[in-house]
């Protein structure tokens, strides 16, 4: 024992003698058969602590009878574990921190936490994050734990973490005390079984007697061995008796109904609207199939659930025969959410996550260091074994590791693009494939702490919500082609068309963003590339006409390089230049004499430079669009809310289309349903700042104080890429400035906000623009900033969910109007707010309307039904128009 170690009295002298004293910093876990066996040690401990002048806290959270009763000097803190692991641990950590050093704690039986959290894994996680914190503060804490009720691996983790672990059990009407672990001290009798009597603890020193006691003890309460009675295991085993039975006939069996509900809750979550869909569309056999594909334990998350529900809805309403004909099957796996917490705890990352989710900010540079810590993390042996089995199942087929957090793809919280998805090309030896897969998992886990995800959670009031990261492991849809792997078609489809570029388009019939190859190019704002935009009601109508069709088409293809083992981008002309890709005539057209012409036969006699990806023949000659439209209609009717789906599609030899639905999520579309926006008509034209006619979402923003304007020509003329990246960083600083956050802001910038190609627009992330009220894209083609409406991308999802009105403005279009003089000549307050930003003052203009137009505010009114928007100066004393 270190000379600096201080011992305290437990209130039981015999216990103190047996353990050579209890030290400050000790956590003492009592594994007991009966709660009374814990109480007889905890009560004298608390009484002694109060007598000796220590602060003493009873942490009350369980449904069982109290361990301690109220008494002078005892503080009782009540916590609610039903709020979830995160809120419970956060509150407890605050309690521990506030009580300070050398406080004495008595906890309820922590086995009761399993009743709320469903798995032993979370119980072990709780202990492994709480015990070290108590140790650091030199506290002494007693914990009760039900003997024999938990999986061996969970008890092993608790044992590895605690300083003292004691079993108390009953054999033949007698009570025995048996220390299994006592850290940093030893005696020759310490680890013998001790008889508990009124005289104290007496060691059982005869081997025959000790053997009899221990053997009988193991036959009784420990007969379960590693078979936990935690609901994750026990409910599953109890439900297995109903497998294959008629579920309709079982609906009158109250035990079955209750077990099924509990099984669904711990596997799929508790969101009321999702649970209604689960109850209607997922049967017991479906739940069993999900459970058999879960690695570890815990919930499968929102993305996985959305995909499964959408498929079940389609099977129910289309019928099994039609469903099997038009839908590709899936064989996904799910990494349970508990594995994420175990990874955090085992790799000393949980407290870092706690700090960041509770408000500490992190820059993108700092996040790279966090990511490196995650990449060094390890997994428990039992999880590694399941990972290896899963990879054996997939063989060398490419897979993708996708985030599927508890809040992701939920009603109102899409988290679109906030967490990572990592392609795993899955080539090489089993060892190489496993290591590559583990790297993908670690990167997706790390993305839970990336600045955009944390900013999104805080902005939407989700910082304190129980957000666990499950994973969805999917087979990549597609086929190999010349040592590459990719699907023929991929994209995102919306059940409502908010971007109606013609009056003929029915906005209720849906909208598709379609690409050739992997769907990453459909959901990300990439380089100078354009997906095909398809209105389900009028698929032949394009936003572009004439020569513009070739200009605004897809030029590059994302695919998996089987030899290089990576996601790569190739030009469409390189990929398709051999003219031997199956059914190529359905999605390519040819440029001839400045015009686009569609192939009239399977044989294409041309050169690669003339290829244009239009998908014209796919639209004209197959049922692709009507098929996607029907899928959207069926799922939306079940969800009772607009939604979007991500998909891939395969074209068979007979040109039949088969769809693989990989994701489905509900959407909130502000300003589009039942909202009438009154656009004022009577006001001086010199007060109009701009008009727009290509709208996606709408609403009214009555009092905008700041207008951030980035001059398109000045931005285009910046000679160095780093200078353009500096503009993006400056936008983020302006967005986070307290004055801008307090007063509403409108941002106007060149080309595509959020693009990864800095020559085509301002490269910003969600956390750089999340405080703005209006985001305007200036399509100034002479500066190289071509229009590309972001509808359907992850970037667009961010704007919709944050209630940010998005407007593309085309100054060269006679139907639009732009007051260039106001934005270029109004006083610039940039250096007043950010004194060190002078280098950008000629290009980045921050206009304070109180200074530029005293007595006025900026108002924006956008009506997506009428496809009209106007931004104007309104006298500040008048009510909003």
More confident residue, 501 or 423: 423
Rounded to two decimals, the pTM is 0.70
Q: Across 168-177, 598-607, 748-757, which has the greatest mean pLDDT?
A: 168-177
The per-residue pLDDT for 672 is: 47
Rounded to 10 degrees, the C-alpha dihedral 105/110/115/121 comes to 120
Whether residue 392 is predicted with pLDDT greater than 90 in this model: the reply is no
d(Cα 512, Cα 495) in Å, to the nearest integer?
9
d(Cα 474, Cα 681) in Å, to the nearest integer?
53
d(Cα 826, Cα 152) in Å, to the nearest integer?
70
The per-residue pLDDT for 461 is: 60
Of the given ranges (401-410, 720-729, 823-832), which has the lowest mean pLDDT? 401-410
Whether residue 434 is predicted with pLDDT greater than 60 in this model: the reply is yes
Rounded to 10 degrees, the C-alpha dihedral 438/442/443/445 comes to 140
More confident residue, 246 or 794: 246
Whether residue 411 is predicted with pLDDT greater than 80 in this model: the reply is no
Within 8 A by CB and 6+ apart from 717, the residues are none
The per-residue pLDDT for 409 is: 61
Query: How many angstroms separate the Cα of 407 from the Cα of each of 155, 260, 277, 286, 499?
Result: 30, 22, 16, 22, 28
The per-residue pLDDT for 225 is: 36
Average pLDDT of the residues in 734-747: 89
Residue 675: pLDDT band by 50, 70, 90 thresholds?
A: very low
d(Cα 693, Cα 810) in Å, to the nearest integer?
9
Q: Which parts of 300-374 are beta strand (E)? A: 333-335
For residues 1 and 185, the answer to whether their CB atoms sit within 8 Å is yes
């Amino acid at each position: 024992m270190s000379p600096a170690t201080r011992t305290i009295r437990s209130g039981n002298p015999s216990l103190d003698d047996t353990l050579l004293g209890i030290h400050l910093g000790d956590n003492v876990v009592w594994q007991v058969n009966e709660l009374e066996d814990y109480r007889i040690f905890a009560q004298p401990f608390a009484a002694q602590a109060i007598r000796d002048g220590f602060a003493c806290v009873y942490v009350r959270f369980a449904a069982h009878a109290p361990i301690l009763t109220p008494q002078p000097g005892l503080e009782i803190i009540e916590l609610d574990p039903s709020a979830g692991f995160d809120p419970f641990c956060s509150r407890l950590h605050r309690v521990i921190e506030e009580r300070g050093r050398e406080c004495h704690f008595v906890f309820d039986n922590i086995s009761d936490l399993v009743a709320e959290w469903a798995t032993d894994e979370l119980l072990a996680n709780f202990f492994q994050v709480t015990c070290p914190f108590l140790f650091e503060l030199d506290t002494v804490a007693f914990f009760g734990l039900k003997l024999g009720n938990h999986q061996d691996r969970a008890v092993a983790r608790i044992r590895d973490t605690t300083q003292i672990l004691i079993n108390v059990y009953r054999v033949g009407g007698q009570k025995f005390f048996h220390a299994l672990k006592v850290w940093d001290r030893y005696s020759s009798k310490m680890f013998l079984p001790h008889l508990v009597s009124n005289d104290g603890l007496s060691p059982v020193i005869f081997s025959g007697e000790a053997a009899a006691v221990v053997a009988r003890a193991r036959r009784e309460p420990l007969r379960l061995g590693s078979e936990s009675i935690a609901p994750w295991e026990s409910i599953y085993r109890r439900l297995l008796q109903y497998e294959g039975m008629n579920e309709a006939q079982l609906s009158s069996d109250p035990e079955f109904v209750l077990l099924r509900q509990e099984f669904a809750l711990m596997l799929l979550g508790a969101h009321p609207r999702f649970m209604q869909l689960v109850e209607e569309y997922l049967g017991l056999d479906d739940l069993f199939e999900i459970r058999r594909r879960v690695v570890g334990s815990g919930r499968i998350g929102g993305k996985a659930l959305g995909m499964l529900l959408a498929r079940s809805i389609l099977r129910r309403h289309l019928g099994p025969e039609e469903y099997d004909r038009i839908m590709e099957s899936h064989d996904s796996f799910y990494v349970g959410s508990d594995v994420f917490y175990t990874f955090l705890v085992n790799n000393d990352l949980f407290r870092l996550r706690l700090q960041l989710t509770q408000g500490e900010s992190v820059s993108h540079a700092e996040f790279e260091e966090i990511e490196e810590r995650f990449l060094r993390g390890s997994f428990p042996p039992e999880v590694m074994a399941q990972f290896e089995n899963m990879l054996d199942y997939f063989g060398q087929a490419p897979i993708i590791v996708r985030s599927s957090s508890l809040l992701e793809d939920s009603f109102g919280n899409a988290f679109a693009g906030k967490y990572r998805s990592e392609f795993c090309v899955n080539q090489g030896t089993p060892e190489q494939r496993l290591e590559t897969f583990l790297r993908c998992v670690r990167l997706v886990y790390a993305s839970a702490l990336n600045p955009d995800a944390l900013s999104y959670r805080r902005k939407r009031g989700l910082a304190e919500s129980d957000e666990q990261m499950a994973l969805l492991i999917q087979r990549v849809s597609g086929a190999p082609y010349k040592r590459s792997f990719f699907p023929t078609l991929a994209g995102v489809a919306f059940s409502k068309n908010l971007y109606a570029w013609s009056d003929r388009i029915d906005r209720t019939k849906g909208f598709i963003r379609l690409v050739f190859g992997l769907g990453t190019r459909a959901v990300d704002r990439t380089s100078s590339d354009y997906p095909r935009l398809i209105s389900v009601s009028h698929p032949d109508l394009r936003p572009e006409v004439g020569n513009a069709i070739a200009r605004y088409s897809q030029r590059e293809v994302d695919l998996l390089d089987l030899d290089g083992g990576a996601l790569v981008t190739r030009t469409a002309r390189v990929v398709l230049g051999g003219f031997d890709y199956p059914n190529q005539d359905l999605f390519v057209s040819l440029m001839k004499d400045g015009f686009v012409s569609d192939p009239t036969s399977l044989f294409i006699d041309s050169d690669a430079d003339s290829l244009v990806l239009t998908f014209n023949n796919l639209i004209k000659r197959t049922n692709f669009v009507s098929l996607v439209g029907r899928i959207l209609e069926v799922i939306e009717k079940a969800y009772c809310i607009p939604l979007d789906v991500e998909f891939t599609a395969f074209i068979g030899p007979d040109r039949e289309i088969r769809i693989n639905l990989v994701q489905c999520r509900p959407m909130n579309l502000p300003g589009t349903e039942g909202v009438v926006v009154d656009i004022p008509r009577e006001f001086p034209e010199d007060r109009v700042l701009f008009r727009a006619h290509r709208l996606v979402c709408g609403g009214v923003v009555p009092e905008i104080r700041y207008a951030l304007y980035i001059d398109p020509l000045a931005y285009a003329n910046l000679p160095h890429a780093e200078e353009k990246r500096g503009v993006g960083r400056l936008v983020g600083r302006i967005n986070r400035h307290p004055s801008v956050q307090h007063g509403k802001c409108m941002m106007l910038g060149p080309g595509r906000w959020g693009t990864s190609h800095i020559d085509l627009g301002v490269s910003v992330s969600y956390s750089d623009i999340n405080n703005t009220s209006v985001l305007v894209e200036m399509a100034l083609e002479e500066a190289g900033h071509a229009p590309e409406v972001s509808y359907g991308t992850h970037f667009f999802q961010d704007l919709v969910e944050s209630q940010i009105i998005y407007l593309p403005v085309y100054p060269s279009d006679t139907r639009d109007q732009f007051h260039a003089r106001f934005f270029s000549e109004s006083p610039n307050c940039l250096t007043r707010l950010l004194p060190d930003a002078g280098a950008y003052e000629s290009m980045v203009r921050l206009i304070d309307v109180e200074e530029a137009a005293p007595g006025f505010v900026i108002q924006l009114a956008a009506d997506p039904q009428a496809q009209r928007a106007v931004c104007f100066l309104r006298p500040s004393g008048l009510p909003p128009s």
